Structure 1
Amino acid sequence: MDRAQLPLSLVEVALGATLILGVALGFALGTPAPETQAPQLDAYAEDTATILANEPPRHEGASRLREIVASDAAFARERASLERRIDRILPANVLFHVRTPHGTAGTPLPRGRTTGTATVPTGAGPVRIEVWYA
């Protein structure tokens, strides 16, 4: 009895075509891009914290940040000025939230957004700055 068989070269061509198609699709579809926002946002937060930590105070204290966390009254007095200063430091498309021992300033933190953070220790407690793209 004769049995029909595929020629071996036809099987090789089919496997080769499948392999080439698979590689081509891999290149065409690619892989997801790595997360690039977080490092830039961390840099914005660190830069903002560094500027505020080294900036002279408006009234009293060793630095702008130390003046802000000196007391509840100092934070209340300086809050609007702090928000304006950070608005000038950061690019227009970046929002911020500052948390101090005496209160918060800026825009409330959104859920599910990539943020950059920086924390600066002060004598009165830590100041945490978080930034994200609008």
Structure 2
Amino acid sequence: MPERSRRPGADRDGADRGQLSLSAVEGAVGVLLVLGALASFFAGVPAPADERAALDATASDAATVLSGENPRHAGATRLAEVARSPDAFERERDALRRRVAAVLPENVLFEVRTPHGTVGFDPPDDVAVGVATVPTRYGDVTIRVWYA
């Protein structure tokens, strides 16, 4: 039996098959990518499980920024400088208060405890407080934050 010639798009028994255009497939994939990106923007980042976790993250972020800053006078970092001695703490107290206030969001109050004194505010008893501690050569510096 002689072999029949096949037309493009026909399968073995000669029936026509539909073929998707490559540009249509590319367009569909592009639309899905764009919709996926838009959905991720609209969904946003989930809120922290509780207020305390968000405050701990805020305190940790502030501690990271402050522990990486150069000292104004002496010491390895700004936090090591204020922990160095009572005189250094007194000299840097106001500058530290201004810098911590600048680093934190406006709706967050703070307290910074050093071996030689405290800067900031006393937290109320009935609020969630986030805490981060930075060890320095001269002692630990603890940053406590809470929502105003």
Aligned twin of 1:115: 129
Aligned twin of 2:66: 52
Match of 1:82, as an amino acid? L
CA RMSD of superposed structures (Å): 1.2
Q: CA deviation at 1:56?
A: 0.5
Secondary structure at the aligned position of 1:104 is classed as strand
Aligned twin of 2:28: none
State the alpha-carbon separation in 1 of the partners of residues 58 and 85 from structure 2: 27
Normalising by structure 2, what TM-score? 0.66
State the alpha-carbon separation in 1 of the partners of residues 139 and 72 from structure 2: 20
State the alpha-carbon separation in 2 of the partners of residues 88 and 99 from structure 1: 17
Runs of 4+ in 1 over 6 A off after TM superposition: none
- 1:93-112 mapped onto 2 (5 Å cutoff): 93-112=107-126
Unaligned runs of 5+ in 1: 1-33
- Greater C-alpha Rg: 2
Match of 1:120, as an amino acid? V
Unaligned runs of 5+ in 2: 1-47
Secondary structure at the aligned position of 1:68 is classed as helix
- Paired residues, number: 101
